C-alpha cells in the first residue's frame, strides 16, 4: 500500500542551519551504518536517519531514540564517499532537541544563534552588578581581598545559585519526561519482563558514563576520549568542592564552627579545587584541538560546540586568574575577574538544559531507556 509523504521543508532548513546542510549528498550506500562502531545490525543508524531527513520526516526524527545513542565520533562522516556528513545530521537533530525539549522555548531560541549571545550575557551581568552595587556601591573594598565582601555567599550567591539549581532540575524533569513520551509514541515500549528504568540507569552510569568507554570505540578522533574524561571528572571534583564549601558556610552560620575563607593553598579542599580546574584545562585542550583539527569539508564547527567550549574556558580561566590576582593583592583585577567568573558560571548552569552539555542528561537517560527496552546493541 502506497504511503504519501509530506516533506517538512521548514524542518529540513532548520537542520541545515544547525549543521546538517550536506544531507542531500547521501545516496544510501550504507557506509555510515557499516563503519559506525556503535550501530547495531538490527535497525542500524545513521542510514535510516539520512533517509528520513532527506524526505523531511520530522515526526520520525524527533521521536528517534537513536540520535541520542550516537556519540558523535565522526567516523561515519570521515568514511562517507559523498561527504554527506551523517554525524553532522545527528548532531543537528540533537541541537534541535536541545532547544525544543525544554521550556521556556525562548531560551532555546536564544541558545540557537550567536546573535542572542549578548542577551544571555547581559542577564547575569546585570544580576551580579546589582549585588555589587548593593554591597559596596560598585567600588573596590579596601583591606584583605575577600570576594564575599562584594558578593556575600549567604546573602546573595547561595540564594541565586540555589534558585538556578532548582530551576534547572525541574526543567530537566519536564524535558526528560517529554523525551521519554516521544520514544513511547514512536513505539519504543518496554516489555513485561524488562528491567526498571532506574536499574538500567544505574547500569549505564556504572558501565558507560563513569568510564566513557564508548568513546574508546572511536578510531578516527582519539582526542574525544581523554578530553571528555578529563572534563567530566574535573566537573565532579569542582562539584564536590562546591558542596563542601556550601555545607561549611551554612554549618558555620547555624553552629558557629569557625569556618572562614579564603582557604589556604595547602587546604585539601583548595587542592581538590585546583586539581579539578587543571583537569578541566587538560580536557578543554584536547576538545578544542579536536574541533580545530577537524576537516572543514567533513564537519561543521557549530555554534553549539563553540559556545560550550568558550563558556567553560572562560569559567576556568577566570577562576584561576581571580585566585592569582587575590594572592598578588591586585584588588581591582581580582574583584573584576571574579565578577566575570560568576557571570560565566551562571551562563554555564542556568542555560544548561538548552546547551550541548545537556547531552549528559538526555543521552544518559536515552541509553538507560535503550537498555530497558532491549534496543539491539544497548541491552543489559
Contact call for residues 347 and 107 (beta carbons, < 8 A): no
52 and 194 part of one domain: no
The percent helix, strand, coil of the chain (3-state, each to 5) is 70, 0, 30
Distance between CA atoms of 326 and 330, rounded to whole angstroms? 6
142 and 284 part of one domain: yes
- Which structural domain range is residue 351 located in? 105-373
191 and 310 part of one domain: yes
Distance between CA atoms of 80 and 31, rounded to whole angstroms? 6
Between 281 and 24, the more confident residue is 281
Contact call for residues 360 and 208 (beta carbons, < 8 A): no
The pTM for the full model equals 0.89
The CATH number for 97's domain is: 1.10.1060.10
The answer as to whether 207 is a domain residue is: yes
Phi, psi dihedral angles at 270 (to 5 degrees): -65, -40
Owner of C-alpha cell 536564544: 110
pLDDT band at 61 (very low <50, low <70, confident <90, very high): confident
Between 315 and 20, the more confident residue is 315
The answer as to whether 1 is a domain residue is: no
Between 40 and 233, the more confident residue is 233
Using only C-alpha atoms, what is the Rg of the chain? 23
Distance between CA atoms of 129 and 138, rounded to whole angstroms? 7
Between 10 and 370, the more confident residue is 370
Cell numbers that stand for 109 in this block: 531560541
Q: What digits encode the pLDDT tens for the residues 131-151?
A: 999 999 999 999 999 999 999
189 φψ region: left (φ > 0), alpha (ψ -120 to 50), beta (else): beta
26 and 168 part of one domain: no
pLDDT band at 296 (very low <50, low <70, confident <90, very high): low
Rounded to an integer, the average pLDDT of 351-371 is: 93
Contact call for residues 218 and 281 (beta carbons, < 8 A): no
Distance between CA atoms of 216 and 330, rounded to whole angstroms? 44
The answer as to whether 2 is a domain residue is: no
Q: What digits encode the pLDDT tens for the residues 169-224?
A: 999 999 999 999 999 988 888 888 889 999 999 999 998 888 887 777 666 666 78
35 and 120 part of one domain: no
The answer as to whether 284 is a domain residue is: yes
Q: What is the largest CA-CA distance in the chain?
A: 82
Helices assigned H by DSSP within 294-358: 303-327, 331-350
253 and 303 part of one domain: yes
285 and 323 part of one domain: yes
Count of the separate structural domains present in the chain: 2
The answer as to whether 3 is a domain residue is: no
The answer as to whether 4 is a domain residue is: no
The answer as to whether 348 is a domain residue is: yes
The domain boundary residue, chosen from 62, 82, 101:
101
Amino acid at each position: 500500500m502506497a504511503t504519501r509523504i509530506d516533506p517538512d521543508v521548514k524542518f529540513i532548513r532548520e537542520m541545515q542551519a544547525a549543521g546538517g546542510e550536506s544531507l542531500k549528498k547521501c545516496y544510501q550506500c550504507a557506509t555510515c551504518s557499516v563503519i559506525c562502531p556503535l550501530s547495531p545490525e538490527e535497525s542500524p543508524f545513521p542510514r535510516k536517519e539520512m533517509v528520513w531527513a532527506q524526505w523531511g520526516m520530522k515526526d520520525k526524527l524527533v521521536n528517534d531514540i537513536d540520535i541520542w545513542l550516537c556519540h558523535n565520533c565522526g567516523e561515519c562522516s570521515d568514511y562517507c564517499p559523498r561527504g554527506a556528513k551523517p554525524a553532522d545530521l545527528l548532531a543537528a537533530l540533537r541541537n534541535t532537541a536541545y532547544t525544543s525539549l525544554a521550556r521556556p522555548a525562548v531560551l532555546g531560541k536564544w541558545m540557537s544563534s550567536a546573535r542572542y549571545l549578548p542577551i544571555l550575557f547581559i542577564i547575569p551581568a546585570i544580576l551580579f552588578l546589582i549585588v555589587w552595587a548593593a554591597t559596596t556601591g560598585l567600588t573596590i573594598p579596601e583591606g584583605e581581598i575577600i570576594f564575599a565582601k562584594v558578593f556575600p555567599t549567604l546573602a546573595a550567591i547561595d540564594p541565586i545559585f540555589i534558585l538556578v539549581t532548582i530551576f534547572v532540575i525541574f526543567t530537566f524533569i519536564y524535558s526528560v519526561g517529554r523525551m521519554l513520551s516521544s520514544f513511547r509514541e514512536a513505539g519504543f515500549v518496554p516489555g513485561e519482563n524488562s528491567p526498571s528504568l532506574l536499574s538500567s540507569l544505574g547500569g549505564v552510569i556504572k558501565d558507560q558514563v563513569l568510564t566513557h568507554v564508548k568513546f574508546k570505540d572511536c578510531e578516527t578522533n582519539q582526542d574525544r576520549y581523554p578530553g571528555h574524561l578529563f572534563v567530566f571528572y574535573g566537573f565532579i571534583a569542582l562539584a564536590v568542592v562546591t558542596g563542601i564549601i556550601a555545607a561549611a558556610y551554612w554549618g558555620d552560620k547555624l553552629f558557629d564552627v569557625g569556618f572562614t575563607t579564603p582557604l589556604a593553598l595547602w587546604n585539601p579542599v583548595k587542592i581538590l579545587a585546583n586539581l579539578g580546574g587543571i583537569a578541566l584545562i587538560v580536557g578543554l585542550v584536547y576538545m578544542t584541538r579536536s574541533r580545530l583539527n577537524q576537516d572543514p569539508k567533513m564537519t561543521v564547527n557549530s555554534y553549539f560546540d563553540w559556545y560550550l567550549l568558550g563558556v567553560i574556558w572562560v569559567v576556568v580561566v577566570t577562576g584561576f586568574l581571580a585566585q592569582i590576582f587575590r594572592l598578588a593583592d591586585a584588588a581591582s583585577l581580582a574583584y573584576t575577574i571574579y565578577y566575570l567568573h560568576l557571570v560565566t558560571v551562571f551562563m554555564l548552569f542556568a542555560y544548561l538544559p538548552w546547551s550541548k552539555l545537556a547531552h549528559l542528561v538526555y543521552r544518559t537517560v536515552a541509553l538507560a531507556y535503550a537498555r530497558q527496552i532491549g534496543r539491539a546493541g544497548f541491552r543489559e
